[in-house]
Amino acid sequence: MQAFTPQSCSYHKPLAALLLLLAPLYLSAQDDSLLGIDAVEIPEARLPLCFGFSDVTNSNALAICDALDLDENVKARELSEQWIRQEPKSPAAQFAFAEVLFNVEGNMPRALFHLNQAEELTNYNTLEEAFNSGNVQWHYLTLSQLSYVHQLMGDQLKSLNYLDKISQIYGQDMESFRGWPLIKLKQYDAARASANRVLENSENERERARAWNTLCAVELASFAPIESTSACDRAIDEDENIADSANDYDTVYLTNASEVSLSLLKMDEAEEFLDRATRYLNPQSVADPWIYKLFITLNQGRFDDARSALDRMLIWREQQEPIVSVMNRAEHFLASASFLMLAGYAEDSVKLTQTALNQPDRNGSYSADDKQKDSFAALLNMMANRTEYQIQLEHLSTLDFFESLSARMQANRSRLDAWRAERRAASLFADFDVLQNRLRPYAPLDVHIPEWIEPEIIQLLGSGVMKNILNQARSKAPFN
């Protein structure tokens, strides 16, 4: 599955992380010029940061930050709950509690509720108004995190609106963060224009890397044949020194480059990118390179390597932060189920694929949407149930009539589950946008379905339907 994410765990980390570069905020209420945050000079000797700021003085906030820094997550939760009970009208308390829910527990819906509460309590329209309120820090943080949470939960228009609001009130250039929401909205020309504006106007390496990653994703999203990996290479290293081992910490850019190489059928190059991405654990990255390594080795019949990749994939997942784990949970289930089904553990594969359907990922940081992931999960669930049905039939042949009664019921249940999954997969694949990329080699900007599974789609929909889809896809020119 593609992970064209906003960088690291996403295409952008929580926007509040920007404040690590912008803190501390020293603005004077009497300053008629009301300079933007970019104009603030950061002193060399920095104080400890709390939620991205070095000048937070609230004792409750500092206590929560200390607990988070020491990984005392239970204490942080207790302190934030106590604070919000004591001061429910405090935007700082609302934001701090939302931050704990979001980063420590990965509970996006509840975090969004408290962020909305904080926004209602800090509904400022100008920088002067925000500063005079004494809540300027919490207002900026709230807007930043609201943009990120909405992006993860799939509401890209709201994410863009909050980016605009930050720019209007604080004079902060947020252009480098606009590319990914525009891609999710399939506004590829606008995303390309946004990335080019960043490259023309910004010298910041992180912003330029995000812009190149946007161009990389746009290049794959277009239906023109892919000719090179230049944009993705530049995303890995802004200076084009792609061989520099210092770039190996960035798993998103490396896995993206690997997917581009696969699209060009450069298998060795794709695996080389993945091997580089696996050298360092990155708990903040939604792109687990071992998932892609597992699929490559399975497709090539390298089962020992695939088993090793599976083990390391699970180790990687155990190290991920909670908010990351809810963004690629189903992806890990499906990768594991693919291996287990080939290894003869069909019953376990059924459970994992059903769980992937019941607990879908938050796809705001993936190019793929819910329909694409669910279609793959339903297809794999169908195949696992069919395999389990055949295994149960073999077992039935060793039983006498009375012993076989309950076993026959269980076998027929597997058969019925397979039929239900087949119908669900067929209804999802019937969407042209979901199906057309299935005909493209390694399906850029789509969920990657292993090649040995794809023939099942033809039987699912029928050869006539597939021929018609192929003719329509050819008219869009990516297959010539």
* Three-state secondary structure of 110-141: HHHHHHHHHHHHCCCCCHHHHHHHCCHHHHHH
pLDDT at 403: 79
Most confident by average pLDDT, 16-25, 64-73, 205-214, 467-476: 64-73
Weakest mean pLDDT among 94-108, 257-271, 372-386: 257-271
Residue 139 has pLDDT above 90, yes or no: yes
Query: Domains of the chain: which residue ranges?
Result: 1-172, 346-474
pLDDT at 466: 79
Task: With cut-offs at 50, 70 and 90, classify the pLDDT of residue 186.
Answer: confident
Alpha-carbon distance of 282 to 285, in angstroms, equals 6
What proportions of the chain, in percent to the nearest 5, are helix, strand and coil?
70, 0, 30
pLDDT at 33: 36
pLDDT at 165: 93
- Residues 477/224, Cβ–Cβ less than 8 Å: yes
67-to-79, 195, 214, 311 alpha-carbon distances in Å: 9, 38, 36, 32
Residue 396 has pLDDT above 50, yes or no: yes
pLDDT at 464: 82
Q: Residue 434: which H helix or E strand, with range? A: helix 432-436
Between 459 and 32, whose confidence is greater?
459
pLDDT at 399: 81
Task: With cut-offs at 50, 70 and 90, classify the pLDDT of residue 226.
Answer: low
Going by C-alpha positions, the residue among 171, 137, 174 that lies closest to residue 54 is 137
User: Tens digit of pLDDT for each residue in 109-126?
Assistant: 999 999 999 999 998 888
pLDDT at 216: 78
Weakest mean pLDDT among 35-49, 87-101, 284-298, 439-453: 35-49
Q: Considering the entire predicted model, what is its pTM?
A: 0.76
Residue 276 has pLDDT above 60, yes or no: yes
Residue 205 has pLDDT above 90, yes or no: no
- Domain 1-172 listed as CATH 3.30.390.50: no
Share of residues in the chain with pLDDT > 90 (%): 30
- Compute the average pLDDT of residues 11-27: 37
- Residues 448/263, Cβ–Cβ less than 8 Å: no
Distance, C-alpha 403 to centroid of its chain:
48
